Amino acid sequence: MATTTPNASGKDMDTEHSTAATVTSSAVPVDYSHIHGGAENYDAHHSTSKIRSELLNLKSDLDTLMSRASSMNDHELHDAKDKMMAKFGSMQQSAKDMASRASQRAADARQQFSQKAADAKQQFSQKASDARHQLDQGVDVTTQYIQERPLQSVAIAAGVGFLLGALFRRD
């Protein structure tokens, strides 16, 4: 019968798996703050690694249980089933928590995108309004100039027409 020892999280595990747990739990924490998403990316990676580790441990424990089940009495089988269900419940809760965090991050990103789109629309509308106002001012100034100096305006238009005609006729 395998003995159990507490792992880094304080949960009991078979001694045959304790070496692997010691190796994986002795990893040095890495500072991801310089990467886009920083701590969030680290948390997501850590959560995924935790769930993967829990799944591997659950599979291993289930394999061990299956190999020993024929030699266990009803009380031992019931206890083993309860432990397996508790481990499965813990893993299931971890997965739900990770999904909830991912959903919240997606909602936050959607909100940020919507806000940036609204800001861009507002800026575009403001610039279009400014351009329309300047065009209207140009039309008003030109109209006023033509009304104040009609003969001079006709002479300027004829001169511009003559120059454009001369330029295009050179071909």
Residue 38 has a pLDDT of 54
Q: How many angstroms separate the first and last alpha carbons of the chain?
A: 102
More confident of the two residues 21 and 66: 66
Percent of the chain with pLDDT over 70: 73
Give the pLDDT confidence score for residue 87 in this predicted structure: 87
Q: State pLDDT tens for residues 97-143.
A: 889 999 999 999 999 999 999 999 999 999 999 999 999 999 999 99
- The span from the CA of 101 to the CA of 78, in Å, is 34
The model's pTM is: 0.47
Per-residue tokens: 106: 């997606």
pLDDT for the residue 134: 97
Residue 150: the pLDDT is 92
Residues 95, 20, single domain; the answer is yes
Asked if 152 and 118 sit in the same domain, the reply is no
Instruction: Kindly state whether residues 116 and 152 are assigned to the same domain.
Output: no
Residues 150 and 122 in one domain: no
- Residue with more model confidence, 54 or 140: 140
Task: Residue 63: give the domain boundaries.
Answer: 4-126
